[in-house]
Amino acid sequence: MNRDSIKGRWIILSWEQVYDDGRIVRPMGTELEGFIEYSDYGMFCVVAKKDRAKFTTGGQWNASDAEKAEAYNSYLTYAGDYEVNGDTITHKVRYSIFPNWVGGSQLRNAEFDGKVLTLTARLEEGTSEARTARLSWKRAVAAS
C-alpha cells in the first residue's frame, strides 16, 4: 500500500468499536454518511450519523446546548497531511472538530481486500475502555 494506491475518495460503510471486554459499540449507529479522501494535497475525513436532527431551539449559534451537543456527537471531521508506511497510514491532524487532535497524529492500520478499505486503531490501551476502532470504506465511483 502507498499514497498512490489509496488516492481518491472512499465512502463510509461502517464504524464500530470492539472493546476488550466484548462490548461492540457503534458510536453513530448503523446508518452513516461521509467519506475519507486522500489526495496530493492531504486527507480529509467526515463521518456523520444519517438523518441528523435539525435544531428546533435556534440556529447554529443560539440553539440550546443540548442540541449543539447532539450535533457534535453525530458528526466527526478532521483534515491534514498523511503518510503511508506499509500497512500503516498516519493522519497528521491540522484541523479537527476535536481540538485535542490538532497538531497530533492518528495512526491507522490499513487493510484492503480489493473492495473494502478497513482502517483500525487501538484506543485507550491499558484501561478498562481499551478497544479497537474499525472503520470500513468503499472506493467512490465517479458520477458520469
6-34 pLDDT, tens per residue?
999 999 999 999 999 999 999 999 999 99
Question: What confidence tier does 143 reach under pLDDT thresholds 50, 70, 90?
Answer: low
* Closest to 105 measured CA to CA, from 115, 114, 117, 92: 92
For residue 76, the cross-strand partners are 47
Residue ranges per domain, the chain?
3-139
Q: Hey, what CATH topology would domain 3-139 get?
A: Lipocalin (2.40.128)
In terms of pTM, does the model score above 0.85? yes
Percent of the chain at pLDDT above 90?
Answer: 92
pLDDT at 144: 57
Question: CA-to-CA distance for 31 and 116, rounded, in angstroms?
Answer: 17
Residue 114 has pLDDT above 90, yes or no: no
Average pLDDT of the residues in 107-133: 94
79-99 pLDDT, tens per residue?
999 999 999 999 999 999 999
The label of the residue with cell 490499513 reads 110
- Positive or negative, the CA dihedral 109, 39, 106, 76 is negative
